[in-house]
Structure 1
Amino acid sequence: MRIRVANESDYAELRNIYLESRRKNFHWADIEEMTLEDFDNHTVDEYIILAEEDNHILGFASLYLPDNFIHNLFVHPDFFGKGVGGLLLDASVEKMNKPLRLKCVSENQKAMTFYENKGWKKVVEEGHSGEKYWVMIYE
């Protein structure tokens, strides 16, 4: 498995991963409102890295470098639990300066546990009922 910077030719596959992963895991959201175009709208001006194996994209992270902020980290559902997320997280940490931040939806307990096991700390819970998220920091 290798990590590399995404390019425009990867976007079709990245859009699919983003949509499939959210539809499968975001039980609190309306999956009918999710579209392939969400990827483009949610990664504007971001640095995108991906994990691939045998020329197949397994997941990606989008980073907003000016704020040392991990905006998105998604793994294709077929590759959950195989180390893809950890490699993407490590590569994100290497690319930016500490402290790093991210936001994790409060209802996403799998992701929350993943980040905490990787050394991230909860700072504050923000948002309002139904859309709460934790701001997390890595120092």
Structure 2
Amino acid sequence: MKIRVANELDYPELRNVYLQSRSKTFFWENTEEMILEDFDKHTVGEHIILAEENNHILGFASLYLPDNFIHNLFVHPDFLGMGVGGQLLNASIEKMNRPLKLKCVSKNQNAMKFYERNGWKKVVEEGNPNEKYWIMMYE
């Protein structure tokens, strides 16, 4: 598996990874409203790294470098549990300065456990009752 910086030629496949991952795992959202173009809207101005193998994108992370913030980390559903997320997380940590932050939707228990297993700490839960999320930090 190779981790590298994404380029515009990767965007069609990245859009698909983002849509597939959210459609399969975001049970709390209306998946019928999700579209391929969400990727472009949700990663504007961010540094994007991806994991690939045999010329297929397995997942990606989008980073907002000025704030040392991981905005998105998504793995295609076919490759969950294979270490892709961990490699993307480690590459993100190496790219930014500590402490790093991210937000994790409170309902996303699998992601929460993943981050905690990898050394992230919950700081505070914020948001309205229907959209709560944890601010998490890595020092």
Structure 2 unmatched runs, 5+: none
> How high is the TM-score relative to the length of structure 1?
0.99
Shift of 1:4: 0.1
Distance 2:19 2:76 in 1: 9
SS at structure 1 position matched to 2:136? strand
For residues 1-139 of structure 1, the aligned pairs below 5 Å read 1-139=1-139
Q: Secondary structure at the match of 1:62?
A: strand
Query: What amino acid is the match of 2:91?
Result: A
TM-score by length of 2: 0.99
The one-letter amino acid of 1:55's match is N
Q: Which amino acid aligns with 2:83?
A: G
What is the aligned length? 139
* SS of alignment partner, residue 9 of structure 2: helix
Alpha-carbon displacement from aligned partner over 1:42-70 (angstroms, at most 9, x marks no partner): 00000000000011100000000000000
Partners of 1:92 and 1:81 in 2: CA distance: 18
Q: CA deviation at 1:129?
A: 1.2
User: What is the alpha-carbon distance in structure 2 between the residues aligned to residue 63 and residue 14 of structure 1?
Assistant: 15
Hey, which bits of structure 1, 4+ residues long, moved more than 2 A? none
The C-alpha deviation readout for 1:60-117, integer Å capped at 9, x for no partner, is 0000000000000000000000000000000000000000000000000000000000
The CA RMSD over aligned residues, in Å, is 0.3
**1: CA distance between counterparts of 2:71 and 2:82?**
21
- What percent of counterpart residues are identical? 76
